[in-house]
């Protein structure tokens, strides 16, 4: 048994912070919290003085790409190193993520199921993971890494992840099933381009058509998986919402259509705005990405303001 003594406790319920708190940990789990007046502990417990520090519940990162940390989009994204180097780097990222207080992460594409298994078995330290494996999109969409040259240059190919490009209703259903077979906890798709898309496929350019999206959502839900949809603006944003996805990722131009946020609220669709990524694009990405980042940021702020 361990006892954390003397810190300030924020319990996550909205209650006022507890000064000089006592946190009792037994076999890796928090068993009891309170103050010195309300909590007692056995004399053989390990007492750790955390005076001046703050204790709070583990943080949840709702959208990350843990396998992509350490890259700059102005350079060749992981094309100059073997797969093993990227896997070791990712293991380090998982450890750092846990150490900074994140105990659960919803990975929005990039990790294969082996990382989740390794964390669960205690082979590497890391947060609990919800994996989507890869971004499902049609040819030319966000999940298609083939450049105009015919080479896969946008993101490095990964043989441990399933193919994610699908065209047509039946192909979409097949790819969803393939993702689930490969260990996906959630299904990630894209109905628009993004700030980091190749030139010519921007944040308001559509990807899947309504029939394809309805099939994707239907198949995912039939297999017990929620759908997280990359959608920034334009017709593709409405397509995703009307199809019944479970969350809109980014949603930068929601402010341009007054019907969309009420529709999301009525249908119980979550909004995951991912604010910080566009600061990155505005300051550190390729030139066309910086332009997109600067253009969408005021809309992004307004979309979140309206959502709140």
Q: Which of these three, 38, 55, 72, is where a domain ends? A: 55
Q: With bands split at pLDDT 50, 70 and 90, how would you rate the model's confidence at 128?
A: very high
| Residue 146 sits in the same domain as residue 285 | yes
What does the mean pLDDT of the chain come to?
91
| Residue 28 sits in the same domain as residue 145 | no
**Tokens standing for residue 181:** 């077979």
| Residue 73 sits in the same domain as residue 165 | yes
Interval 220-241: pLDDT, tens: 999 999 999 999 999 999 999 9
Interval 9-47: pLDDT, tens: 999 999 999 999 999 999 989 999 999 999 999 999 999
pLDDT for res 74 = 47
First to last CA, the chain: 42
pTM of the predicted model as reported, rounded to 2 decimal places: 0.89
Instruction: Please state the domain count of the chain.
Output: 2
Interval 62-103: pLDDT, tens: 999 999 887 655 455 556 678 888 899 999 999 999 999 999
| Residue 125 sits in the same domain as residue 271 | yes
Interval 206-224: pLDDT, tens: 999 999 999 999 999 999 9
- Count Cα atoms within 13 angstroms, Cβ side, for 156: 21
| Residue 142 sits in the same domain as residue 231 | yes
**293 vs 234: CA distance, rounded Å:** 16
| Residue 214 sits in the same domain as residue 164 | yes
Residues near 234 by Cβ (< 8 Å), separated by ≥ 6? 192, 203, 204, 205, 206, 253
| Residue 40 sits in the same domain as residue 111 | no
| Residue 88 sits in the same domain as residue 13 | no
CB atoms within 10 A of CB 19: 10
**Tokens standing for residue 237:** 């944003």
- The CATH number that applies at residue 13 is 2.30.40.10
**6 vs 21: CA distance, rounded Å:** 5
- The CATH number that applies at residue 149 is 3.20.20.140
| Residue 83 sits in the same domain as residue 177 | yes
Q: Are 230 and 192 in contact (CB under 8 A)?
A: yes
Provide the domain limits for residue 7. 2-55
**294 vs 195: CA distance, rounded Å:** 10
| Residue 49 sits in the same domain as residue 190 | no
**236 vs 230: CA distance, rounded Å:** 10
* Partners of 61 in beta bridges: 105
Interval 48-60: pLDDT, tens: 999 999 999 999 9
| Residue 51 sits in the same domain as residue 64 | no
């Amino acid at each position: 048994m361990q006892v954390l003594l003397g810190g300030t406790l924020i319990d996550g319920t909205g209650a006022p912070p507890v000064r000089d708190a006592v946190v009792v940990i037994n076999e890796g789990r928090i068993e009891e919290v309170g103050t010195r007046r309300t909590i007692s502990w056995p004399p053989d417990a390990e007492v750790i003085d955390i005076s001046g520090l703050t204790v709070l519940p583990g943080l949840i990162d709702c959208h990350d790409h843990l396998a992509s940390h350490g890259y700059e989009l102005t350079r060749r994204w992981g094309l100059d190193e073997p797969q093993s180097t990227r896997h070791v780097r990712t293991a380090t990222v998982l450890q750092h993520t846990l150490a900074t207080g994140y105990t659960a992460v919803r990975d929005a594409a990039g990790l294969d199921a082996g990382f989740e298994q390794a964390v669960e078995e205690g082979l590497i330290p890391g947060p609990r993971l919800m994996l989507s494996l890869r971004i499902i999109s049609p040819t030319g969409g966000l999940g298609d890494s083939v450049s105009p040259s015919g080479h896969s240059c946008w993101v490095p190919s990964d043989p441990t992840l399933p193919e994610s490009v699908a065209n047509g209703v039946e192909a979409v259903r097949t790819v969803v099933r393939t993702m689930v077979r490969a260990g996906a906890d959630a299904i990630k798709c894209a109905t628009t381009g993004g700030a980091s898309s190749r030139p010519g496929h921007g944040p308001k350019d559509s990807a899947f058509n309504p029939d394809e999206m309805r099939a994707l959502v239907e198949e995912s839900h039939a297999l017990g998986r929620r759908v997280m949809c990359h959608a920034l603006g334009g017709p593709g944003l409405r397509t995703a919402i009307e199809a019944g996805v479970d969350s809109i990722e980014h949603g930068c131009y929601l402010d341009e259509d007054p019907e969309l946020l009420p529709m999301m609220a009525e249908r119980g669709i979550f909004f995951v705005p991912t604010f910080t990524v566009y600061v990155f694009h505005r300051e550190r990405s390729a030139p066309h990405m910086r332009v997109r980042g600067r253009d969408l940021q005021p809309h992004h702020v307004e979309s979140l303001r309206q959502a709140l």
